[in-house]
Structure 1
Amino acid sequence: MPHTTWRKSSFSTDVGANCVELATSPDGIRIRESDQPDAVLRTTPATLRSFIRAVKAASLDHTH
Structure 2
Amino acid sequence: MEPQWRKSSFSEQSGGDCIELAAHEDGVLLRESDDSGVIALIPAARLGALLSRIKSGHMPFCPSDTKR
Q: Same fold (TM over 0.5)?
A: yes
Secondary structure of 1:29's aligned partner: strand
In the other structure, the counterpart of 1:51 is 50
Identity %: 34
In the other structure, the counterpart of 1:23 is 22
In the other structure, the counterpart of 2:65 is none
In the other structure, the counterpart of 1:10 is 9
Which 4+ runs in 1 deviate beyond 4 A?
Answer: none
Looking at secondary structure, tell me which structure has more helix per residue.
Answer: 2
In the other structure, the counterpart of 1:60 is 58
Secondary structure of 2:10's aligned partner: coil
The one-letter code sitting in structure 2 at the alignment partner of 1:60 is H
9-18 vs 29-38, greater mean Cα deviation: 9-18
Alignment root-mean-square deviation, CA: 2.4
Stretches of structure 2 that go unaligned for 5 or more consecutive residues are: 62-68
Stretches of structure 1 that go unaligned for 5 or more consecutive residues are: none
Task: Give the length in aligned residue pairs.
Answer: 61
Q: After superposition, what is the alpha-carbon deviation per residue over 1:13-55, rounded to whole angstroms, capped at 9, x for unaligned?
A: 1763512110001111001111100100110112111112233
TM-score (norm 2): 0.70
